[in-house]
A and B are shown apart, each in its own frame.
Chain A
Amino acid sequence: MTVIVPRLVEVRQNVLKRNDLLARALRERFARAGVYVVSLVSSPGAGKTALLEQLLTTLRARYRVAALVGDLATDNDAERLARSQAPVKQITTGTVCHLDAEMVERALEDWDLDALDVLFIENVGNLVCPASYDLGESLRCVLMSVTEGEDKPRKYPTIFHGADLAVLTKIDLADAVEFDRGAALASIQAVRPGMPVVTASARRPNGTAEVLAFLEGRIAGMRAPA
């Protein structure tokens, strides 16, 4: 009788290694082409598309901007964003609840990165799944609207923890919904100590000024000689 003794072999590797490698390659491509890449994550309806519409329209005067927009179905968001006159491409994920680096790479196939200064990537509206997937972006913004409840960050710590900037959106509605700004800031700082936070309103004139100032500071920093 033969006894089969299993052997245990160590193979330390990140489970999402393939995505991480693709994201790293993308990050290098973006750096070579001098493109600053900003991704947006939030729950559905937090205002990613509305904010992006404003940002594209304003930034277009000073930079060569473009956007990729992820959605499960429909290209409504791409249509909305195309009104800004910036190049926009829809990534329809079907049933997949997040963008990954391969989808971004594929969407960029026929785009000349050298002809861009700033690229936005709007993720699928979801506060859970996009957290695990690096897209090669320079900056990851997490949006949280004042209508969502101040404790969102504590409910979804992973996505807030992995972001570089928090944007409190729909700030024009803050009073109407009795938004507790202090509680929201405390919740953000609890899960991601030190995270910069800005506010935005896509409805008010100059409502995105804080976001623009933050982004332009970062873009200037990227361009400054080291």
Chain B
Amino acid sequence: MHELSVAVSLVELAWGEGERLGGRVRAVHIRLGALAGVVKDALLFSYEVACQDTPLAGSELMIEDVALVVYCPTCAVERTLESAQLLACGVCGTSTPQVRAGRELELVALELES
């Protein structure tokens, strides 16, 4: 359960950015890839814990899911995959290690009240 460690890193990062930009952080927007290895519900729960006794207490975590997208060298197009259990083109079946999206664990934006 490393989501608490991730949440602590996120709160520290957002706290620092909030101070730099000025204003109370009301919400934190992140992008979470299907291959990031982070469980969304566990992160939401951990976020609340990590916010306690910080200026971010009471702020909301908004998570945008990022689907796993690979590049198929045979079809020469990007394909969105339903699962990380088979990195292969859903149309022609070619296996591919070229992940184009889905590893994201990224702070995207802050909602600030100034």
Chain A interface (Cβ within 8 Å of chain B)? 4, 6-19, 96-98, 100, 128-129, 131-133, 154, 157-159, 161-162, 189-194
* Complex CA–CA separation, A188 to B6 (angstroms): 27
Instruction: Write out the residue numbers on chain B whose beta carbons fall within 8 Å of the beta carbon of A8.
Output: 29, 109-112
Q: Is the CB of A15 within 8 A of B37?
A: no
Q: Is the CB of A192 within 8 A of B97?
A: yes
Which size bracket describes the interface of B in this complex? 35 or more
Interface residues of B in 21-57 (CB under 8 A from A): 21, 23, 26-27, 29-30, 35-38
Q: Is the CB of B87 within 8 A of A12?
A: no
Name the residue of chain A whose CB is nearest to the CB of B10: A15
Q: Is the CB of B35 within 8 A of A13?
A: no
Judged by a CB distance under 8 angstroms, whether B12 is at the interface is yes
Q: Is the CB of A15 within 8 A of B95?
A: no
> Can you list 14 A-B pairs, Cβ within 8 angstroms, ordered by A?
A7-B114, A8-B111, A8-B112, A9-B109, A13-B17, A13-B106, A14-B105, A15-B6, A15-B107, A100-B5, A157-B35, A158-B37, A161-B35, A193-B97
* Complex CA–CA separation, A116 to B95 (angstroms): 39
* Complex CA–CA separation, A191 to B83 (angstroms): 10
Q: Is the CB of B88 within 8 A of A190?
A: yes
- The 8 A CB mask of B1-29 against A (1 = contact, 0 = none) is 11001100110110001000101001101
Judged by a CB distance under 8 angstroms, whether B75 is at the interface is no
Instruction: Write out the residue numbers on chain B whose beta carbons fall within 8 Å of the beta carbon of A100.
Output: 5
Name the residue of chain B whose CB is nearest to the CB of A7: B112
Interface centre among A15, A154, A162 (most CB of B within 10 A): A15
Q: Is the CB of B105 within 8 A of A132?
A: yes
| Smallest beta-carbon distance A127→chain B, Å | 10
Q: Is the CB of B84 within 8 A of A191?
A: yes
Judged by a CB distance under 8 angstroms, whether B96 is at the interface is yes
Q: Is the CB of B97 within 8 A of A132?
A: no
Interface centre among A8, A98, A162, A194 (most CB of B within 10 A): A8
* Complex CA–CA separation, A54 to B17 (angstroms): 47
* Complex CA–CA separation, A158 to B35 (angstroms): 6
Q: Is the CB of A96 within 8 A of B84?
A: no
Q: Is the CB of A190 within 8 A of B95?
A: yes
* Complex CA–CA separation, A161 to B96 (angstroms): 12
- With contact pairs A16-B9, A157-B35 given, residues A4 and B113 touching in the complex (Cβ less than 8 Å): yes
